[in-house]
Amino acid sequence: MSKSRTQYVCQECGAESAQLFGKCPFCGSWNSMVEQVTPSSTSTAASRPAASAIAVGTPPKAVASLTLPQISDHPQARLPSGYGELDRVLGGGIVPGSLVLIGGDPGIGKSTLLLQVANQVARQQRVLYVCAEESGQQVKLRSQRLGVGQPQDDHTDPPDLYLLPEIDLEAILAELTSLKPQVAVIDSIQAIYYRALNSAPGSVSQVRECTTALMQLAKRQNISLFIVGHVTKDGAIAGPKVLEHLVDTVLYFEGDRFASHRLLRAVKNRFGATHEIGIFEMVDRGLAEVLNPSALFLGTRQEAVPGTCTIVACEGTRPLVIELQALVSPTSYPSPRRSATGIEYSRLLQILAVLEKRVGIPLSKLDAYVASSGGLTVGEPAADLGVAIAVAASFRDRVVDPNTVLIGEVGLGGQVRPISQMEIRLKEAAKLGFQRAIVPKGTTVPKLDLEVIPVGRVVDAIATALLPNDSAAIATPEPDA
């Protein structure tokens, strides 16, 4: 007789337990254990052969292994998505038969981006858009606002784009098998359910089984599959971690809800690099590519503002000229405040300690705030020199030369260390009209229309970066300021 058993599944890591715990014993997350009832049949278990019987029975048919030269080559051209920023993050385009998972905060533009990409790809290939969270009428209203589904001119056909408002996994698999599209979009995986499971849509078992079934069909029929995934309050993809292991590429769509630009970042990519980013801007007709991202994060460098300087950061192979702002002010509390927006907090604390120990600026009694223009997160050490000079300039209320860029890593001894990809950074600065660049000593400098000043210590960089009449004042700070 068929029986059912109750188990508790962690919604964060997918661990199973026969007992309910307030804290998952495997991943340590609180209140993540959810009850799940699964059917089990004693007759099925009894009819299943034991492992010992399989071991001593007839061996299965052997499959011959091959060396790499024996495997035949089947080169497949990547499909252009119609957006160079997305192709850059994917590694050159959409790989046939690949699974791409896109996550992001609610309302960040995941569905908008994929609907626009589906429209561009559908001009050359057949595309199926599975809208599991919206009805067909709702998607059509959004498509009319975005201009999706319309021919480019009177001499072209409309895009070969199909919509499927469905949440049943079996119906979606049947339509994929029947339609045979080259590209398919699943929006979203948390809304799809498999009827054979008793758990609710979005649970660990549902997400795992649905993704596995879609992956097997996509690999078998060579369908490029885009999957939208919800994120938790911590910003991670909701559902089991195995979801990210199943797919080929994991992309995060990021952005400040109060700003118009959006960043598409790869954290896993089996067919390309994981350090590239794509930059979009939200306009009235959807998402548009940002052709000159440096202008977006540069701010107003012609204005003489104390505590402001310019750096050149690299995201993958793309140089970005970014404006850094610092504010140092006396504190009325026993412990001064430290705030970092777009800069790693621990890195800021390290730079403040170097400035106090090696340069002599008494920052232990002052509040310090550092932010990057545009909200872009700069995680590489090449921004250290810019942070240090911006803080020092704000301490003395001085102005950094607006035509100077700062590139270098700050060591604990107060030295300025070399960084990688210096040539492309300097070329980007010269292209935008900067006249000087302060770089670490010993750096190989290409021939450019740009004055390059090598420095070996932070104190030398501070004196060089400021206007000539202010350099002496910065070199000898007053301890009672």
Give the highest mean pLDDT range of 60-64, 234-238, 467-471: 60-64
What band does 3 get if pLDDT is binned at 50, 70 and 90? Answer: low
Residue appearing with tokens 């038969």: 97
Query: What was the pLDDT predicted at 389?
Result: 96
Q: Do 268 and 199 reside in the same domain of the chain?
A: yes
The residue out of 269, 291, 313 marking a domain boundary is 291
Q: Do 171 and 309 reside in the same domain of the chain?
A: no
Task: Work out the burial of residue 393: count CB atoms within 10 Å of its CB; fewer than 13 is exposed, 13-18 middle, 19 or more buried.
Answer: buried
What stretches of 64-185 show up as alpha helix (H) in DSSP? 84-90, 110-121, 136-146, 169-179
The residue out of 274, 291, 308 marking a domain boundary is 291
Assigned domain for 463 exists: yes
Q: Do 388 and 266 reside in the same domain of the chain?
A: no
What stretches of 369-470 show up as alpha helix (H) in DSSP? 384-396, 422-431, 458-465
Q: Do 38 and 121 reside in the same domain of the chain?
A: no
Assigned domain for 280 exists: yes
Please tell me the number of Cα atoms within 13 Å of 28 on its side-chain side. 0
Tell me which H or E stretch contains 371: strand 366-372
Q: Do 8 and 95 reside in the same domain of the chain?
A: no
Tens digits of per-residue pLDDT, 384-434?
A: 999 999 999 999 889 998 889 999 999 999 999 999 999 999 999 998 889
Q: Are 161 and 123 in contact (CB under 8 A)?
A: no
Q: Are 199 and 77 in contact (CB under 8 A)?
A: no
Quote the CA–CA distance of 297 and 256 in Å, as a whole number: 13
Assigned domain for 198 exists: yes
Q: Do 365 and 397 reside in the same domain of the chain?
A: yes
Assigned domain for 333 exists: yes
Q: Do 180 and 303 reside in the same domain of the chain?
A: no
Task: Give the SS3 label for residue 246.
Answer: helix
Q: Do 240 and 367 reside in the same domain of the chain?
A: no
Query: What was the pLDDT predicted at 4?
Result: 62
Query: What was the pLDDT predicted at 441?
Result: 92
What band does 206 get if pLDDT is binned at 50, 70 and 90? Answer: confident
What band does 239 get if pLDDT is binned at 50, 70 and 90? Answer: low
What band does 230 get if pLDDT is binned at 50, 70 and 90? Answer: confident
- Considering only CA atoms, which of 307, 339, 256 is closest in space to residue 474? 307
The four Cα atoms 282, 287, 290, 291 give a dihedral, to 10 degrees, of -150
Assigned domain for 28 exists: yes
Assigned domain for 138 exists: yes
| Average pLDDT score, the chain | 85
Tens digits of per-residue pLDDT, 48-86?
A: 444 444 444 556 677 788 898 888 777 778 999 999 999
Tell me which H or E stretch contains 438: strand 436-440
Q: Which amino acid is at 473?
A: A
Share of the chain above pLDDT 70, in %: 87
Q: Do 12 and 94 reside in the same domain of the chain?
A: no
This prediction's pTM = 0.78
What band does 152 get if pLDDT is binned at 50, 70 and 90? Answer: confident
Assigned domain for 76 exists: no
The residue out of 241, 268, 291 marking a domain boundary is 291
Tens digits of per-residue pLDDT, 295-308?
A: 778 766 666 788 99
Sign of CA dihedral 369, 375, 381, 382: negative
Q: How far is CA 99 from CA 80, 202, 266, 268, in A?
A: 15, 19, 13, 11
Q: Do 260 and 313 reside in the same domain of the chain?
A: no
Share of the chain above pLDDT 90, in %: 52
Q: How far is CA 143 from CA 118, 187, 230, 392, in A?
A: 11, 15, 22, 51
Quote the CA–CA distance of 248 and 270 in Å, as a whole number: 6
Sign of CA dihedral 130, 135, 136, 138: negative
Query: What was the pLDDT predicted at 50?
Result: 45
Tell me which H or E stretch contains 267: strand 261-269
**Residue 214, token pair as written in the block:** 């879609």
Assigned domain for 62 exists: no
Quote the CA–CA distance of 204 and 242 in Å, as a whole number: 10
Q: Do 284 and 322 reside in the same domain of the chain?
A: no
Tell me which H or E stretch contains 245: helix 242-246
Sign of CA dihedral 12, 13, 18, 20: negative
CATH of the domain at 375: 3.30.230.10
Q: Could you list the residue range(s) of the whole structural domain that residue 343 is in?
A: 295-475
Tens digits of per-residue pLDDT, 303-339?
A: 678 899 999 999 888 899 999 999 999 988 888 999 9
Q: Do 221 and 161 reside in the same domain of the chain?
A: yes
Number of structural domains the chain divides into: 3
CATH of the domain at 162: 3.40.50.300
Collect all residues with Cβ–Cβ distance below 8 Å to 417 and sequence separation of at least 6.
Answer: 381, 408, 409, 410, 411, 440
- The least confident of 61-65, 207-211, 455-459 is 61-65
Query: What was the pLDDT predicted at 45?
Result: 46
